Chains A and B, each alone.
Chain A
C-alpha cells in the first residue's frame, strides 16, 4: 500500500475474488503482451515520507533567489506585482481547486459563473464584445489568434511588429510551420530618426509607413504588442487603421479583399491607462494574464486572455461560458458554442485546446474585483509615475541613456555603455536584479547593451534609488577595470554531462 492508495490486503483479496482472477499480476498478464512488459523495476528512488519530501523541495527552493530575496526589476512578460491574500485563499478552496472542466453544469455553477464574470472583465478591459474563458498564456495566445486569422481568411502571411515579445514571435514561428505561413517583420523606428513631436517622440514605435507597405492582399493578420516589448506605447489606432487601409497603389485590400485580422498582444495591467484595443480598431486582443494576481512561478502556470470582435465568435478557441435558465426558470450558466471545439468538431475544430487555465483565470477575476473600477487606473498611474521617476534618475547616470524616447508605462529599455552580463552580475552581488538583458532575449545586434527595467508597485522609490546607485557604480567599475587592462576572470570550464 503506497501513500495515496487505500486498498488493504483484505480489500485486494475481496476485489480479486469479485473479479474472478487470482492476482493483480493476472490482470496485467491477461492484457499486456509479454513482449512489452517492463522487466524489473523502474530505475527511480524509493518513496519518501511527507516530511522528507517537504525537506527536499524546500532545500531545492532555497537554492533559488526569489523576488523576496533581492530587489528585482525583472519583467519582460512576467511581473512581480503584489498578490492579495484573498486570491490565495479563494484559489486554495477545494471547490475551485479540485474539480475539472464543468461538463456537468448542474454541479458546476460556481466555476461556470466565474468564467462568465472573467469574460465580462476581459471584455470590459479590452473594449471587445466577446472573450473566451482563457487560453494557456501570452505567447501561445498570439499563435492561437493567428490560427483564428488563418481559419478566417486562409492567407499565407503574417505581418508582425518587431516590438512583439521575442517569445511571442518565436512561438508564432513554431506554430506557423503548421499553418505553412511566412512571417514578415516590420522594424521599430530607431531613435534619432524620429519624426514625432517633442512631446510624443516616436522612437521605439513600430514604423507605421513600413507596416502599411508590408501589408497586402496576402496578409492573413497584422500583429503588434501594446505596450511593445521595449515598454513603448504604440499608436495602436494608427497601426490598426494602416493595416486596414494599405498604401496607395499597393495591391488593394480595398478592392474586394477584406483587410487582414488586426491582432494586439496587450498587457492587461496597463488597460486602466491606455486606450483599449477595441476602441483602436483591433480585431483580436490577446495577452499574458500573470500580472493580474498571478504568481511568477518561474514562468507558469498563468493564463492567456483572448477577446475579439463579434464576427470572430465562432472561430474563437477554447471554452466559453454563456448564461441561460434551468427548467425552473432560474438563472444559470453553461459551456456554450461547443461545436467550435475539438471534442465535438475534431479536425474541423477552431483549436486543439482542451484543458485551459481556469484556476489562474479565477485568480485574475478575484484580483480585478479587488482592484476594482478605480484601482486599475490608480495602479496604472502609480506605475507610470514611478517609471518616469526611474527613467529620469537612470538617464542621469553617465553611460546610460534610454534606448527609445517614445513614452512608456511600466517598463523601460536602457542602452548602457558597458557589458550587460557583467553589469547584471555586479548588481546582483549588491542585492539588486537590475532587469533583463534585452539582447539575450531578442538576439538582435542592435540590442547589444540593452537592459529592460520593469517597475511594479512593490518597487519603492528607495528601491529605484538603490538601482540607480548600483548601476552607476557597476558602470564606473567596468570603466575602471577596462582602463586597467583586460579582465582576467576566466569563463567556467565545464562540458555537458
Chain B
C-alpha cells in the first residue's frame, strides 16, 4: 500500500449519500390499484412532512457496488483468525442461515395464532429444554435480546424475589474482573454495585467477599470461568457464603463455551444464568449484533420470569401464556429474537450431547495449547500470563514487561497483528491486568492457525526488539491506518452533511 497524504477522499470513502444523481432510483412502486388519494386529502398540512427526506438517489447497481466495496474494508471471521477474548468468535455454519431463511421462519408473523405457529413454538420449547439441561436449571425464558438484557432480567428477577419476601436489598456484589455490562445493569435496575477484589490466584477473594456480604446484598454476579479464563476453584465456598446471606447467585454466561457438558451453573449453586446465543451457540455476530440472551432460572426464581411463557400441553400442543401474576412483565416486543433461536437450535441438533462437550474440550485444549506456545522463550519474557499455569477457554497475558523493556504497548502489538492478517485479541481488559491481552481461540480453529498466530506474535516481538517504530506506526497494510479518535470525540461528526435543499422551515412547535 502507498503511504502518503492524499489531499482528496478516495472514492471508496464516499458515503451512499454522496453517490447517485437527482432522479436516479432503484425502487419502482407497484401500482396502487385503488382510487388515488393525496395525503393532504386526509391529513391537515401541519401533520404532513413538507419535503421528502434526503435519502440517497441511487440505482440498484450503485447500491450493490457501494456496499460490496464497503464490505471489502472489513476483516471478518470467514477470512481469518478472530481471537477476540470473551466474544467466542467461532465458525458460523451456513446451514443455520439456510434454515433461518425458510419462509415458515422468516415470514412468520409474531402475532400468528399459536395453533398456526406450532412449529415455531415447538422449536422454542425444545431450545428451552436444551438450555435448561446445559445450565442445570429447570426454567428458561428465551426473551432477552442480548446478554446485557438477560443480565437486566436477572437483576430485576432478583429484586422481585427479595421484594416478594418483604426485603429491599440494595447491593449487588461484582468482582473487579467483571464485564462492564454487569455494573451498568445493576445501575439500570436501581441497585448499587459493590466491587469484590480478586485474589492472587485470579479468583474471588473470599475474605473480601465475606467482609462485603450482608443482609443488604441482593446477589453476586459472577462469570465462571471468569474474564481471566480461570475457573474459580472456590466456587462451592463462594456459593455457600452468598446463600447463607440469603442472596442470589447470578451466572454471566459469556464464558459458557468452556464448560458445556463439563460443569453446570445450576450444579455450582447459581439461581440465574444468561446465555449468549451469539457466542456459545454461534449466531453470527453481524458486525455488532443481533445477539440473543436467554436466561435459565431455578424453581425459586421461576414465579417472576418474564411473559409470555411457552406452555406445552399433555396432548403435545403449545401455547403462549401471560398468566403469571408475580412476573416482572416483558422486556421487549413479542417473543424474542426467534431468528437466533432457529440458528442456536440447529447448532444443538447438529452437535448433540457429545458434540457440545467436544466443543468445550477443544476450546479449552486450543486455549491451553496457544498458552503453551505463547509461553515459549522470546514471548513469555515480554508477555507473561497474568495468573495460573493453565486456563479454560481463553488466556490473559500482560504486556507490561513488553512496554517496560521494548517501549512497545499492547495496542502497538495488536495493530501489528493486523498486518499479519489476524484480528487482534481483546486488549486492555480485564482492567486489573496491566496492558492486558485476552485471547479466545475457540474450538473451530486448527492447530495450524494457532501455530501461525503464535509464530506471528514471536516475530512481532523480535521485530520490536530491533525496530519498535514499525509497531508504533502499525498497521501498514490496512484500508486506513491509525485513526484520530480524539478529534472524533472533541468535534463529533456523526452524520453526513447533506448539502442540497434544506428542509422547509419547521412549523413552530
In the docked arrangement, what's the CA distance between A24 and B156, Å?
A: 39
In the docked arrangement, what's the CA distance between A220 and B55, Å?
A: 34
Judge whether A107 and B423 touch: CB under 8 Å: yes
The total of Cβ contacts below 8 Å across the A-B interface reads 767
Write the nearest CB–CB distance from B24 to chain A, whole angstroms.
Answer: 8
In the docked arrangement, what's the CA distance between A32 and B17, Å?
A: 55
Write the nearest CB–CB distance from B486 to chain A, whole angstroms.
Answer: 9
**CB-CB < 8 A to B192: which residues of A?**
347
**CB-CB < 8 A to A384: which residues of B?**
37, 39, 42
**CB-CB < 8 A to A32: which residues of B?**
231, 259, 262-263
Find A352's partner among B97, B185, B483 (CB 8 Å cutoff): B185
Judge whether B358 and A61 touch: CB under 8 Å: no
Judge whether A61 and B119 touch: CB under 8 Å: yes
Query: Does residue A477 face the partner (Cβ distance < 8 Å to B)?
Result: no
Binds B, one of A186-194, A208-216, A251-259, A333-341: A333-341
Write the nearest CB–CB distance from B373 to chain A, whole angstroms.
Answer: 7
Judge whether B52 and A374 touch: CB under 8 Å: yes
**CB-CB < 8 A to B108: which residues of A?**
64-67, 296-298
Besides A38-B267, A114-B287, 14 other A-B contacts (C-beta < 8 A): A4-B90, A27-B364, A59-B119, A63-B119, A96-B74, A97-B284, A111-B288, A178-B155, A178-B189, A237-B509, A299-B337, A339-B489, A355-B289, A382-B29
The 9 closest A-B pairs by CB, nearest first: A299-B334, A61-B104, A359-B286, A63-B119, A47-B352, A299-B110, A301-B290, A358-B288, A281-B509
Known contacts A276-B49, A495-B313: does B184 contact A100 (CB below 8 Å)?
no
In the docked arrangement, what's the CA distance between A364 and B367, Å?
A: 38
Write the nearest CB–CB distance from B478 to chain A, whole angstroms.
Answer: 4
Judge whether B483 and A105 touch: CB under 8 Å: yes
Query: Does residue B396 face the partner (Cβ distance < 8 Å to A)?
Result: no
Closest A residue to B237 using CB positions:
A33
Interface of B (DSSP majority class): loop
In the docked arrangement, what's the CA distance between A237 and B446, Å?
A: 60
**CB-CB < 8 A to B342: which residues of A?**
57
Contact-size category for A: 35 or more
Write the nearest CB–CB distance from A258 to chain B, whole angstroms.
Answer: 17
Query: Does residue A147 face the partner (Cβ distance < 8 Å to B)?
Result: yes
Per-residue B-contact encoding for A6-34, CB less than 8 Å = 1, 0 else: 11000110111011110010011011110
Judge whether B481 and A116 touch: CB under 8 Å: no
Judge whether B365 and A300 touch: CB under 8 Å: no
Closest A residue to B478 using CB positions:
A106
In the docked arrangement, what's the CA distance between A11 and B50, Å?
A: 67
Judge whether A120 and B496 touch: CB under 8 Å: yes
Judge whether A60 and B122 touch: CB under 8 Å: yes
Find A45's partner among B306, B353, B489 (CB 8 Å cutoff): B353
In the docked arrangement, what's the CA distance between A74 and B489, Å?
A: 44
Judge whether B107 and A110 touch: CB under 8 Å: no
Closest A residue to B348 using CB positions:
A44
Per-residue A-contact encoding for B176-189, CB less than 8 Å = 1, 0 else: 00011101111111
Which of A32, A233, A424 has its CB near the most chain B CB atoms (within 10 A)? A32
Write the nearest CB–CB distance from A165 to chain B, whole angstroms.
Answer: 7
Per-residue A-contact encoding for B460-489, CB less than 8 Å = 1, 0 else: 000000000000010100111111110111
In the docked arrangement, what's the CA distance between A88 and B107, Å?
A: 13
Find A461's partner among B34, B145, B317, B493 (CB 8 Å cutoff): B34
Closest A residue to B92 using CB positions:
A98
Known contacts A30-B390, A105-B480, A495-B313: does B76 contact A97 (CB below 8 Å)?
yes
Known contacts A54-B95, A137-B145: does B39 contact A48 (CB below 8 Å)?
no
Judge whether A38 and B263 touch: CB under 8 Å: yes
Judge whether B89 and A322 touch: CB under 8 Å: no
Find B99's partner among A58, A64, A461 (CB 8 Å cutoff): A58
Closest A residue to B233 using CB positions:
A33
**CB-CB < 8 A to A160: which residues of B?**
none
Per-residue A-contact encoding for B69-97, CB less than 8 Å = 1, 0 else: 01111111111001010010111110101
Per-residue B-contact encoding for A415-437, CB less than 8 Å = 1, 0 else: 00000000011001000010010
**11 A-B residue contacts at CB 8 Å?**
A4-B443, A47-B355, A57-B349, A97-B78, A108-B287, A298-B338, A330-B9, A332-B483, A356-B289, A376-B52, A386-B33
Find B424's partner among A104, A137, A382 (CB 8 Å cutoff): A104
Judge whether A386 and B32 touch: CB under 8 Å: yes
Known contacts A295-B107, A296-B107: does B15 contact A113 (CB below 8 Å)?
yes
Write the nearest CB–CB distance from A57 to chain B, whole angstroms.
Answer: 4
**CB-CB < 8 A to A278: which residues of B?**
506
In the docked arrangement, what's the CA distance between A370 and B101, Å?
A: 21
Judge whether B509 and A42 touch: CB under 8 Å: no
